[in-house]
Amino acid sequence: MLKTLLLTCFIVLFSNAVSATTLEDIKPHSPTKKPWSEQWFYYLNDPAMGYFKISLQTYIMPDSPTLKEKGYVHVVYAPKEGKMQVYDYFFDEVMTQSSGSGSTAFHYSIPGKVDANDKQITLTLPDFNFSMQFISNHKHYWSGRNPGQTPYGFITDIPFVGGKWFIFTMGTSVQYSYSDNDESYGGYGTVYLDKGWYTKEDSPSFMYILGINDKQQLMMTGAAAGSIPIELWAGRYLSQQSDITLYPAIAGLSMKRTLDACKGELHIEFNKLTKKITVDAKANINDFYISRMPSMLVLGGDQPIMKSMKATLDVNVYEFGQLTEQVNFPQGVLEFGGNVFCDDILSEPNPQ
């Protein structure tokens, strides 16, 4: 018990002192070895229509004869009502560029199909067209000297941890448009963006929840890293009433979680000195889809990830033991991977 408490103190202290990532890391990186995966994940919520997920990726397979990157674009549309649509596109050619030092400008391009930079995304794909432009300032995860620091602090700087990940914005206002053979519409929404790059899959367990709108933003994630025998959690909740940063915490100490992935349920409780926040996330098991790219197909993971963009999230905030805020996200993101994945899951629409 004493060793665990000392390790917790070590994590909290060094999370602020050591920087694993910066905002500049939104730009592409040069592959250093194979396998390789670099990912930009955009989640867009328009409460009137539903959620879009757009993942722009580069990858190098383990058996590739060179370090030449290929392109992968993963798009999910989870309408407020109706069936979720999952699209996957693979490209032999992809171009990535970045500006000089001190800038967050970058460019991801698949000629004639995808054009993305630090201001907009345009997709011209066989099944649909999509465009999105940022129209407000970004709301970064951290408010301190390094707003691009990973939520897990120094932990991703440890040599045997095979990836780096950070949140570029918790919520930025956007204008967007979407059209396919059956419908066409446009509107305004809120976008969350995170970024990661990896050379192996080394999370024995993985859990993730996300809820965003123009007034509240919530992200919580937990994972075991490499061979470290602990499950580490972090997160942030922002609203007009609260601003709560959840520093890295070990499951079972200042944070607790219970889950049943086969029922699509996750309960999280974080305790701070004067505050407590609880989240109950739930999704119908038939609203999950299975993802194997890139975690298994590129990085060699043992288990896929089950993902839903139709979860409900109920948030309670307490201060000095008194309930001070209650928020319901009627639609959000819930994911389980690694050894918490439900092997009995039957719904695999468009498996990858």
What are the distances in angstroms from CA 187 to CA 1, 43, 44, 122, 131? 52, 15, 11, 15, 11
Residue with the bigger pLDDT between 235 and 152: it is 235
Domain of residue 203: give its range: 28-338
With respect to residue 140, please indicate whether it lies within any of the assigned structural domains: yes
Confidence (pLDDT) at 13? 40
Q: Is 239 helix (H, G, I), strand (E, B) or coil?
A: coil
With respect to residue 11, please indicate whether it lies within any of the assigned structural domains: no
With respect to residue 1, please indicate whether it lies within any of the assigned structural domains: no
The per-residue pLDDT for range 274-308, each reduced to its tens digit, is: 999 999 999 999 999 999 999 999 999 999 999 99
pLDDT band at 3 (very low <50, low <70, confident <90, very high): very low
Q: Which helix (H) or strand (E) holds 6?
A: helix 2-17
Question: What domain count does the chain have?
Answer: 1
With respect to residue 347, please indicate whether it lies within any of the assigned structural domains: no
With respect to residue 257, please indicate whether it lies within any of the assigned structural domains: yes
For residue 21, give the amino acid letter.
T
What are the distances in angstroms from CA 162 to CA 33, 57, 89, 148, 252? 11, 17, 25, 19, 25
Q: Which residue, chain included where needed, has tokens 């790059």? A: 197
With respect to residue 87, please indicate whether it lies within any of the assigned structural domains: yes
With respect to residue 16, please indicate whether it lies within any of the assigned structural domains: no
For residue 142, give the amino acid letter.
W
The per-residue pLDDT for range 252-273, each reduced to its tens digit, is: 999 999 999 999 999 999 999 9
With respect to residue 190, please indicate whether it lies within any of the assigned structural domains: yes
Confidence (pLDDT) at 19? 44
